[in-house]
């Protein structure tokens, strides 16, 4: 499979990365080189093989469903580019 310019622009939109016409053209070539490289996986017979879901065979660790942390609103927003009274500020979303 390979991608065309339109697909690259669509994927960039999905990934929320602004691309110029020039970027998209360059990326088309690069992505096709990588997709060409991974193409060889199609020759592997995977019948009867499941996908890997856990790297180390172990049961998922669980803990009691209780509050162990919190009351750190100021810490949470400390690194944000724009905040007001411990809220993240973003451009208007709803008119």
Partner 1 sequence: MSDLTRLTISQARAKLRGKEITATEITEAYLSAIDRANPALNAYVAVTGDRARDMAKASDARLVKGEGGALEGIPLGIKDLFGTEGVHTQACSHVLDGFKPLYESTVTANLWADGAVMLGKLNMDEFAMGSSNETSYYGPVINPWRRSRLDTVVMPTTHQGDGGFVSAGGTKTQRSLDNAQLVPGGSSGGSATAVSAFLCAGATATDTGGSIRQPAAFTGTVGIKPTYGRCSRWGIVAFASSLDQAGPIARDVRDAAILLRSMASVDPKDTTSVDRPVPDYEAAIGKPIKGMKVGIPKEYRVDGMPEEIEALWQKGIAWLRDAGAEIVDISLPHTKYALPAYYIVAPAEASSNLARYDGVRYGLRVPGKDIVEMYEKTRAAGFGREVKRRIMIGTYVLSAGYYDAYYLQAQKVRNLIKRDFENVFAAGVDVILTPATPSAAFGIADEDMAADPVKMYLNDIFTVTVNMAGLPGIAVPAGLDPKGLPLGLQLIGRPFEEETLFQTAAVIEQAAGTFQPEKWW
> 30-53: b or e for each residue (b if 16 or more CB lie within 10 Å)?
eeeeeeeeeeeeeeeeeeeeeeee
Q: How far is the CB of 21 from partner 1 (least distance, A)?
A: 13
By CB under 8 A, what part of segment 36-65 binds partner 1? 37-42, 44, 46, 49-53, 55-56, 58, 60-61, 63
Q: Give residues 11-40 in contact with partner 1 (rule: CB under 8 A).
A: 11-19, 27, 30-31, 33-35, 37-40
What tokens appear for 51 in the block?
């996908």
| Residue ranges that bind partner 1, judged by CB under 8 A | 1, 3, 7-8, 11-19, 27, 30-31, 33-35, 37-42, 44, 46, 49-53, 55-56, 58, 60-61, 63, 72, 75, 77-82, 88, 90-93
């Amino acid at each position: 499979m390979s991608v065309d310019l339109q697909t690259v622009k669509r994927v960039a939109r999905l990934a929320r990365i602004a691309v110029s016409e020039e970027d998209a053209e360059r990326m088309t070539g690069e992505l096709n080189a990588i997709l060409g490289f991974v193409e060889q996986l199609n020759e592997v017979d995977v019948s009867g093989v499941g996908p890997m879901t856990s790297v180390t065979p172990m049961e998922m660790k669980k803990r009691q469903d209780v509050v162990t942390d919190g009351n750190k609103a100021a810490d949470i927003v400390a690194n944000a580019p724009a905040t007001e009274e411990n809220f993240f500020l973003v451009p208007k979303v709803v008119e």
